Amino acid sequence: MKMAKRTLSIVLALIMAFGVVSIASSAVPGPADYTAVNNAIATQLPSAANRYFYTDEAVALIDDVLNDLIDWNLFETDQATVDVYVTMINDLGSFINQKVTDSSQSPLVFAYGGGYSFPYTYPYGADGLDFYAFRAEEKAVNTLALNASKTAVPLVSRAANDQNFTVTLSVGSNALLCAGGIPVLFDKTKLEVAGVNNSGGNVTVTPVLLGSNISQEFEFTTILNPTSAGFWPAIYQADAAFKAKWGGISITMSTNFDNGAPYSVAPVGQENILSIQFKVKEGATAGNAVVFIDQNFARNAANKANSLYFGRGKDANAFVPYDALSAYGATINTAAASVSVEIVDVLLGDTNLSGTVTSQDALMALQAASAMITLTDKQKLNADVNFSIGGAGLVNSVDALRILQRAANLIPPITAPN
């Protein structure tokens, strides 16, 4: 009996102890709700990938707020503190994206925590232009390049299309693109766009689209001689001499919604996107003819309407530009966006470009026909004296023989066929 009572006492004690523990356990508060905080971070702050386009100070501030000022281990009894974090995140988003128009707001001070003071130098004097102290849009580097299919073309046509050449446009970027404007200039005293009326305004040009990435995800509007006042930047609008020499082609990239997502596209390296065919203009003179992209057309804070720009997308599925500055602040490198093609007054038979036709020219032509040497485009124009075999620009043994005959005065000076 005593043993039974003792056992019962132990059981009752355990039951009571368990009950106390259960009551104590149920009294521990649950975790706080951080849903609104995470939503604020997603909507008000740049994503981890896009923080690259902010200054180091801005990135450090974001990291400090998220990792140090926010306590991520609070309980539901601290929900009021967590709710204040939402306000802090909203204020942080406004802070790093605020626009200033002079130096009067320097330093910028973030009101939460301590020591958050950021002096800046306003780069535009007292002009009142938009300036974003925490943006580093110069990190969004876009590289434009032009390449020509020929380095030399004849002044006088000798065979079909031998005065034509193709200019290919390529673009590279370390950011997603969602739109773009690319003005191409060419020497209209020597060249014209092939296949269209070059004397009219707003002439539609149909480029050849290249590749399966950018060229497929964008629609391209290509206009020769655009009459829009916004095409020419202020530096050239009153420069009659400049506009008399240089013709303009306005290329606009806009998202091709018919293809669906993605709406923003990253180039695959330096990607060829389109080509336009040019030809020697009737009445042109011999010499170099240039096709190029002028950096003076680039948009910036002072010239937001200029026609050379790239818009940067938020992400692969977002057409909306990442921020206002992406439409004009990103760096566009045009150092490789210039090609020069020489218009040559051809002297048939003069392979070595000495100004006379000798047996040495015949030897060079024969070596080229045998793939022993490689001729330049200009040398090929002079060495290709027989247009009926192989097509224009192909140098063969028949050309070499005719050049040798001319060097020995066995035949009269070689002329192009009528």
Q: What is the pLDDT of residues 299-357, one digit of tens each?
A: 988 888 899 999 988 888 877 777 766 777 788 999 999 999 999 998 888 889 888 88
In-domain check, residue 162: yes
**Same domain assignment for residues 147 and 229:** yes
**Same domain assignment for residues 278 and 354:** no
In-domain check, residue 417: yes
User: What CATH number does the domain containing 405 carry?
Assistant: 1.10.1330.10
pLDDT score recorded for residue 301: 83
Q: Which of 85-89, 100-104, 385-389, 392-396 has the lowest mean pLDDT?
A: 385-389
In-domain check, residue 130: no
If you average pLDDT over residues 15-35, what whole number do you get? 65
**Same domain assignment for residues 175 and 236:** yes
User: What CATH number does the domain containing 207 carry?
Assistant: 2.60.40.680
* DSSP 3-state of 343: strand
**Same domain assignment for residues 108 and 193:** no
**Same domain assignment for residues 255 and 378:** no
**Same domain assignment for residues 335 and 404:** no
**Same domain assignment for residues 18 and 53:** no
Distance CA 329, CA 323 (A): 10
**Domain end marker among 344, 379, 398:** 344
In-domain check, residue 129: no
In-domain check, residue 151: yes
**Hey, what long-range contacts does 157-162 have (CB within 8 A, 24 or more apart)?**
157/280, 158/346, 158/387, 158/392, 158/416, 158/417, 159/387, 159/391, 159/392, 159/417, 160/392, 161/392, 162/392, 162/393
In-domain check, residue 134: no
**Same domain assignment for residues 316 and 410:** no
**Same domain assignment for residues 275 and 380:** no
pLDDT digits (tens, 9 = 90+) for 218-243: 999 999 999 988 899 999 999 999 99
Question: CA 170 → CA 124, 142, 152, 214, 336, distances in Å?
Answer: 32, 10, 21, 10, 10
pLDDT score recorded for residue 392: 63
**Same domain assignment for residues 92 and 223:** no
Domain that holds residue 15: 1-25
If you average pLDDT over residues 247-252, what whole number do you get? 97
Token digits of residue 72 = 């991520």
Domains in the chain: how many in total?
4
Over 80: is that where the pLDDT of 120 sits? yes
**Domain end marker among 344, 371, 388:** 344
pLDDT digits (tens, 9 = 90+) for 182-227: 999 999 999 999 999 999 999 999 999 999 999 988 999 999 999 9
pLDDT digits (tens, 9 = 90+) for 37-58: 999 999 999 988 889 999 999 9
In-domain check, residue 63: yes
If you average pLDDT over residues 78-106, what whole number do you get? 95
In-domain check, residue 246: yes
Over 70: is that where the pLDDT of 7 sits? no
**Same domain assignment for residues 107 and 148:** no
**Same domain assignment for residues 148 and 207:** yes
